Amino acid sequence: MKTETSAVPAATAFEPRITAFVCNWCTYAGADLAGTSRLQYAPNMRIIKLPCTGRIDPLFVLKAFEDGADAVLVSGCHPGDCHYTSGNYHARRRWTLFRKLLALTGIGDDRLFFSWVSAAEGQKFADLVNDVTAKVRQAGPFRAANPGRRA
Amino acid sequence: MMKALREAAAKLLQEKRAVLVIGYADRKGRPAVFVSKPEDCGRLVYDSSCRQNLAAYLGKPELRARLPVAVVAPPAVLRSLVVLTAESQIPAGQVLALAVDHDAFLGVFDAAGAAELLRSKFPDLGPEKALLERVAELSKKSAAERAAFWAEEFAKCTRCYACRAACPGCYCSRCIVEKNAPQWVSTAALGHGNYTWNVMRAFHQSGRCTLCGACEAACPQGLPLMVLNAVLDREALAEFDARPGYDPEGKPVIGSWSAEDDHSYMR
């Protein structure tokens, strides 16, 4: 076994907690591919798998923020590739409006991310997680700025 | 104008084209009045202080047992009637509109006629200028300032759900906020539940809100709910050309889709 030599982050260092809502058929499979391909990526993402992006109620996003997520990622099949034909098209309409509503209440592009990742895009998934984690790390902890934080 | 409205209402009741007329009462605050006898139509009024959207009563089971009805309807309420028709919430031919505007009585219309009237006489009903200014002013602030603004506003919410009761679009027999296994929205009048409730209430109206202002008028705490509604109205119009309340056969924005929808924000 290799001995851990890298410096352990100080207890006070900020580690973003990011909730990812992904669909079963594309992005989850893409994340699986990233894993089986032994790609290294930031360990900050907590993945919640759902059957389809069409199943992702905007309420889930609010719940994640309420329960302490620093950011939320929503990801599914590319347009035209939905396992259920049109779930991602339905979802896309919702997100288009929902993100504007959240932006008005102070939850912007640095907290809420959307992507298409297919089952073949393991590398894209790894890069995406690294990129989102870096952005959230820069944005800092969300709790104090969250308009819907727990009292 | 008032005379024409009362006469038309009485005629509908006499001819049994309606068994009930829902209107604004000639009392302080202009509460709703339900008139079922032609001789009582003198109680009906309409003026600028009528803030309620009477189409909200059409979702009530008690009222659904007393069809057909007629509703006193200024333009925003006419739009609500058309939205409810498009969403199959009004049995065909069972609801008539007594259309009014400022100081004019415009006639009796069914849903198709109301849509026709709106398209010809009020083709561009949208957020009022003052409301758009409120949105613009808030949009100018930083994200942190906006979050602080809403945290402060939502903190006033007592969760009385008057906004929901006032809205014709909120007709679900079981609202998300009443679902408790699991409980998605905390019902305590605290920051997180208040945020989720108010944001989701607005979101559930996206592409359906007719900007009648009844929710904000009903709010006893004076929350700026119309700002949330207006931003969704603006985006639904810009992105999906949504004009709720102009087409009784129109498809809802959420619930339909197009392969050409924008997704430039998707990574």
Give the tens place of pLDDT for each residue, B32-88.
999 999 999 999 999 999 999 999 999 888 898 889 999 999 999 999 999 999 999
The angle at the Cα of B229, spanning B224 to B235, to the nearest 5 degrees, equals 135
- Number of domains within chain B: 2
Asked if residue B65 belongs to a domain, the reply is yes
CB B166 within 8 A of CB B218: yes
Asked if residue B259 belongs to a domain, the reply is no
Q: Decide if pLDDT at A8 tops 60.
A: no
From B138, B184, B254, residue closest to A63, measured CB to CB: B184
Same domain, B221 and B168: yes
Asked if residue B255 belongs to a domain, the reply is no
Q: Decide if pLDDT at A4 tops 70.
A: no
Q: Decide if pLDDT at B134 tops 60.
A: yes
Length of chain A: 151
Which two three-digit tokens encode residue A87? Answer: 């779930």
| Average pLDDT, rounded, for chain B | 95
| A101 contacts B206? CB cut-off 8 A | yes
Single-letter amino acid code for the residue at B254? I
DSSP state string for B113-159: HHHHHHHHH-TT----HHHHHHHHHHHHS-HHHHHHHHHHHHTT---
Phi, psi of B20 (to 5 degrees): -150, 140
Which two three-digit tokens encode residue B229? Answer: 């509604």
Domain final residue, candidates B71, B102, B121 = B121
Query: Which residues, at least 6 apart from B140, have a Cβ–Cβ distance to it below 8 Å?
Result: none
Mean pLDDT, to the nearest integer, of A139-148? 90
pLDDT band per the 50, 70, 90 thresholds, residue B93: confident
Asked if residue B109 belongs to a domain, the reply is yes
Asked if residue B206 belongs to a domain, the reply is yes
pLDDT band per the 50, 70, 90 thresholds, residue B1: confident
Asked if residue B186 belongs to a domain, the reply is yes
How many of the other CB atoms lie within 10 Å of CB of B129? 8
pLDDT at B234: 95
How many of the other CB atoms lie within 10 Å of CB of B145? 12
Mean pLDDT, to the nearest integer, of B176-191? 92
Give the tens place of pLDDT for each residue, B188-238.
999 899 999 999 999 999 999 999 999 999 999 999 999 999 999 999 999
First vs last C-alpha separation in chain B: 57
Report d(CA B258, CA B267) in Å as an integer.
19
CA distance A100 to chain B (A): 8
Rg, Å, chain A Cα set: 16
Same domain, B143 and B59: no
Same domain, B19 and B51: yes
The answer to whether A140 faces chain B, any CB pair under 8 Å, is no
Same domain, B62 and B110: yes
pLDDT at A144: 85
Which two three-digit tokens encode residue A139? Answer: 């944005």
CB B223 within 8 A of CB B156: yes
The answer to whether B178 faces chain A, any CB pair under 8 Å, is no
Residues of B (189-208) whose Cβ lies below 8 Å from A: 190-192, 194-196, 199-200, 202-203, 206-207
DSSP state string for B223-260: --HHHHHHHHHHHHHHHH---TTS-TTPPPSBTB--TT
Domain final residue, candidates B121, B139, B168 = B121
Prediction ipTM score: 0.93
Full residue range of the structural domain in which residue B74 is found: 2-121
Q: In what order do the strands lie in the sheet containing A71-76?
A: A45-50, A18-23, A71-76, A112-116
Q: Cis before residue B182, ω within 30 degrees of 0? A: yes
The CATH number of A18-143 is 3.40.50
Mean pLDDT, to the nearest integer, of A142-150? 88
Same domain, B90 and B182: no
Q: Decide if pLDDT at A11 tops 90.
A: no
From B135, B146, B267, residue closest to A128, measured CB to CB: B267
Single-letter amino acid code for the residue at B31? P
pLDDT at A103: 96
pLDDT at A7: 59
- pTM of the predicted structure, to 2 decimals: 0.93
Domain final residue, candidates B79, B105, B121 = B121
pLDDT at A10: 57
Same domain, B83 and B113: yes
Report d(CA B87, CA B35) in Å as an integer.
27
Mean pLDDT, to the nearest integer, of B89-105? 93
Q: Give the least confident one: A9-13, A119-123, A126-130.
A: A9-13
CB B135 within 8 A of CB B231: yes
Q: Decide if pLDDT at A116 tops 70.
A: yes
Same domain, B16 and B103: yes
Q: Decide if pLDDT at A3 tops 80.
A: no
- Per DSSP, the three-state class of B27 is coil
pLDDT band per the 50, 70, 90 thresholds, residue A2: low
Q: Which of B75, B79, B60 is nearest to B20 (CA)?
A: B60
Give the tens place of pLDDT for each residue, A47-97.
999 999 999 999 999 999 999 999 999 999 999 999 999 999 999 999 999
pLDDT at B64: 87
Asked if residue B113 belongs to a domain, the reply is yes
CB A34 within 8 A of CB A126: yes
CB A76 within 8 A of CB A23: yes
Kindly list the distances between the CA atom of residue A90 and the CA atoms of A95, B156, B249, B256, in Å, as whole numbers in the listed order. Answer: 9, 34, 19, 7
Asked if residue B258 belongs to a domain, the reply is no
pLDDT at A108: 93
Same domain, B10 and B103: yes
Report how far Cα B246 is from the mean position of its chain's Cα atoms.
Answer: 14
Same domain, B112 and B136: no
CA distance A2 to chain B (A): 36
From B145, B203, B261, residue closest to A92, measured CB to CB: B261
pLDDT band per the 50, 70, 90 thresholds, residue B92: confident
Same domain, B149 and B62: no
CA distance B194 to chain A (A): 7
Query: Which residues, at least 6 apart from B170, have a Cβ–Cβ distance to it below 8 Å?
Result: B56, B59, B163, B164, B201, B204, B205
Residues of A (35-94) whose Cβ lies below 8 Å from B: 58-59, 62-63, 66, 79-80, 86, 89-90, 92-94
